[in-house]
Amino acid sequence: MTLPNGVKPLRDWQKERVYDAEDDGEKGRPFESLAAVQRYCTEVMAKDWLVRPHPLLDLAEIEVHDGRGSRRARTVGAFALHVPRWARHEQIVLHELAHLIMVRRRWSRFCASHGQEFVQVFLHLIGAQNGFGARQEMAARFRRRRVVWSGSDLQRWPADMADRWVEWCRREGIELPPEFMLAQRRVEVRLAAKEEALFAASLEATRGETW
Ligand SMILES: [Zn+2]
């Protein structure tokens, strides 16, 4: 199976809400130089379990550019971050690293840029770097802006397309998003329970029968 070239990415349905939530509070500790941003990125990516399923990509250095001429910090492909001077703060860099991880895991193919998986990865990074309290504080900001992160963007596709993405992930050796797996398991458990109930009912129906 190959995915059709014409498959449009998911609409980035909560981008503004994510930006607003992050702008509601502090941007995190500042970095004194671009080199400090570079060192920080290398350190985060070296220790993070989210990157490990892809050992080859894992080895690649991240290029941190000065972001001249861009209004926002941004991630380009799987290797480069552009971080303008005003954006050299820990939270903004973690936001960009979350994008980079989404690209490296190849979840960016079927997830919205600032969708549920992105927010899960970002919150994970905040927790891993700054502790549980910092994660909770950011989660509260997201909640106030009605940002969603429980569930999976994969569930936003029509069922037949979701199936094709799952098949694509399995073929390419890409780990499926954990929230998607959880949702699948819940459906399976529900179906199994239903089947069991039907079976019990069919047994019950034979109670008075004689052959
Ligand atoms: Zn972003």
143, 169: one domain: no
Which of 52-56, 119-123, 124-128, 195-199 bottoms out in mean pLDDT, i.e. has the lowest? 52-56
Sequence-distant (≥ 6) Cβ neighbours of residue 78 within 8 angstroms? 57, 60, 100, 103, 104
CA distances from 72 to 48, 59, 141 (A): 25, 27, 20
User: Per the domain annotation, does 5 fall within a domain?
Assistant: no
Sequence-distant (≥ 6) Cβ neighbours of residue 203 within 8 angstroms? none
Which of 36-40, 74-78, 95-99, 176-180 bottoms out in mean pLDDT, i.e. has the lowest? 74-78
- Going from the Cα of 199 to the center of ligand 1, the distance in angstroms, rounded, reads 50
Q: What is the distance between the terminal CA atoms of the chain, rounded to a whole angstrom?
A: 51
User: Per the domain annotation, does 118 fall within a domain?
Assistant: yes
- Given 150, 180, 195, the domain boundary residue is 150
Cα-flanking dihedrals φ and ψ of residue 201, to 5°?
A: -65, -40
| pLDDT tens readout for residues 29-51 | 999 999 999 999 988 887 756 65
In angstroms, rounded to a whole number, what is the distance separating the alpha carbons of residues 94 and 100? Answer: 10
49, 139: one domain: yes
pLDDT of residue 29: 95
pLDDT of residue 51: 57
Of 149, 136, 181, 111, the residue nearest 17 (C-alpha):
149
Residues 107-135 have a mean pLDDT of 94
167, 104: one domain: no
- Going from the Cα of 67 to the center of ligand 1, the distance in angstroms, rounded, reads 14
Residue type, 65: H
- Residue 209 pLDDT exceeds 80: no
- Going from the Cα of 145 to the center of ligand 1, the distance in angstroms, rounded, reads 16
pLDDT of residue 19: 95
- Mean pLDDT (the chain) is 87
Range(s) of the domain holding residue 184: 159-205
The conformational region for residue 151 under phi > 0 = left, psi -120 to 50 = alpha, else beta, is: left
58, 130: one domain: yes
State pTM to two decimals. 0.84
- Going from the Cα of 79 to the center of ligand 1, the distance in angstroms, rounded, reads 15
Residues 123-143 have a mean pLDDT of 95
pLDDT of residue 178: 87
Q: How confident is the model at residue 203 (pLDDT cuts 50, 70, 90)?
A: confident
- Going from the Cα of 114 to the center of ligand 1, the distance in angstroms, rounded, reads 6
Residues 154-165 have a mean pLDDT of 92
pLDDT of residue 96: 93
111, 49: one domain: yes
In angstroms, rounded to a whole number, what is the distance separating the alpha carbons of residues 78 and 192? Answer: 40
User: Per the domain annotation, does 141 fall within a domain?
Assistant: yes
User: Per the domain annotation, does 171 fall within a domain?
Assistant: yes
163, 90: one domain: no
Sequence-distant (≥ 6) Cβ neighbours of residue 36 within 8 angstroms? 88
Q: How many domains does the chain have?
A: 2
In angstroms, rounded to a whole number, what is the distance separating the alpha carbons of residues 180 and 80? Answer: 28
